[in-house]
A and B are shown apart, each in its own frame.
Chain A
Amino acid sequence: MSKAAGLLILDYWVSPFCQRVKIALNEKGLQYEDRHENDLFGGKSELLLNSNPVYQKVPVFLHDGKPVCESTIIVSYIDETWSSPPLLPPCSYGRAQARFWADYIDKKVFDATGNIWRSKEVNVEAKNEFIGILKQLEEALGDKDYFNGATFGFVDIIAIPLTCWFLAVERIGGFTVAEECPKFSSWTKRCLQRESVAKALPDPEKVYEFVLMFRKMQGID
């Protein structure tokens, strides 16, 4: 593992967006300080508010004190600053495809999970929308091991942390991803076997507990 001066991530344990950054850093073999924001609902740290004045959200990645915000942008920054191993394909067209799918995942997946777990009653429309999105991603994956091809990369990093929320979605929605989207499920298992991923992601059972607590707080349960 190589040490690079002053790498810090402002983190919140359940945030899949923070986990993207950690996986990227792990893939690059970089050591970093993982600083936890304990209270995102009222007591954000000064450092967070100062380094991300626009959105005031985690993750924030600080490289020698200079802040980079927005998880997908942070992952690109990490890839461009530390070039080995590369997370994006070498050709421009491949990179455009990767950025397209990262954008698709950003726009669609987390909100679709929210439509299921924030819903009081079982929402069939939300479930179908969610499955539709995963099927679209299955098509993008095709017969490849990873979205990038034979090697784990950018799009895989953007997508995999979101899967920690799928257990909650399955339990509340009353279905399983393995049954509806087996290819996606295989890809998930394959990614979880990587050390860089496994050590960055929380236990889905804990995420489920968090969702239940959130539902109670919001009066959904």
Chain B
Amino acid sequence: MADEVVLLDFWASMFGIRVRIALAEKGIKYEYREEDLRNKSSLLLQMNPVHKKIPVLIHNDKPICESNVQVQYIDEVWHDTAPLLPSDPYQKANARLWADFVDKKTKGEEQARAKKEFMESLKLLEGELGDKAYFGGENLGYMDIALVSYYCWFHVYEKFGDFSIEAECPKLIAWAKRCMQKENVANSVPDQQKVYEFALHLKKIFGIE
């Protein structure tokens, strides 16, 4: 039986980006369905009744939710190509720790205090990267996918917060650019300028200054 893979997603979602990259890395053909978040489809509500959020991965009619769970699922099911997680349990635990750190710490906000914390988190991540080409070592891995999904939003944080990430964390930006040179990543990530315009639009709607 041929695998049927559907991804319910939203173009600017960093969580959706992760799944797109993982599917591309594994060379999996799938149907991409764009969701209107103000008018969620009945399929989305049916497949993710708990959180009612994208992305939702549907594999042979069975839903999997939460981006990091989805990436691990993809890695396990299509395990004979492009491994995303290391096989060694200790290294696996380390990759999971840093991916979890990314989710806990890199939520962008415009306040000065959040900016300082955000930069500190990025510096910690730079430390973890060290001299490696990727967090995964020589190849793109689980942790790279978790963080690069935020990259298109960095431009937004920089503009809103009026600071330069590259000035403070040049190694991290070099890593991000390296990832973006990979076709699977570049094709999965929306244009930074489009994301910025979207963020401005949200700002207007919600009346945030």
A residues neighboring B (CB under 8 Å): 54, 63, 66, 68-70, 73-74, 76-77, 80-81, 92-93, 95-96, 99-100, 103-104, 136
Contacts and interface: CB of A to CB of B under 8 A. Distances in A.
Interface string B72-89: 110011000000000001
Contact of B73 (A63, A81, A96): A96
* Most chain B beta carbons < 10 A, residue from A68, A80, A93, A96: A96
Nearest to B75: A92
A136 B51 CA distance: 11
A96 B69 contact: yes
Given A70-B97, A77-B93, A103-B68, 6 more contacts: A54-B124, A66-B90, A68-B90, A80-B92, A93-B73, A95-B76
Contacts of A70: 96-97, 100
What 9 pairs between A and B have smallest CB-CB spacing?
A80-B89, A96-B73, A77-B93, A92-B76, A99-B69, A96-B64, A68-B93, A73-B96, A81-B89
Interface of B: 50, 59, 62, 64-66, 68-70, 72-73, 76-77, 89-90, 92-93, 96-97, 100-101, 124
Contacts of A73: 93, 96-97, 100
A66 B93 CA distance: 11
Nearest to A52: B97
Contacts of B70: 96
Contacts, number: 55
18 contacts: A68-B97, A69-B97, A70-B96, A70-B97, A73-B96, A73-B100, A77-B89, A77-B90, A77-B92, A80-B89, A96-B69, A96-B72, A99-B69, A100-B66, A103-B66, A103-B68, A103-B69, A136-B50
Given A92-B73, A100-B69, A54 B101 contact: yes
Contact of A76 (B76, B93, B124): B93
A93 B64 contact: yes
A179 B203 CA distance: 45
Contacts of A66: 90
* Most chain B beta carbons < 10 A, residue from A69, A76, A81, A100: A100
A63 B89 CA distance: 11
Nearest to B59: A93
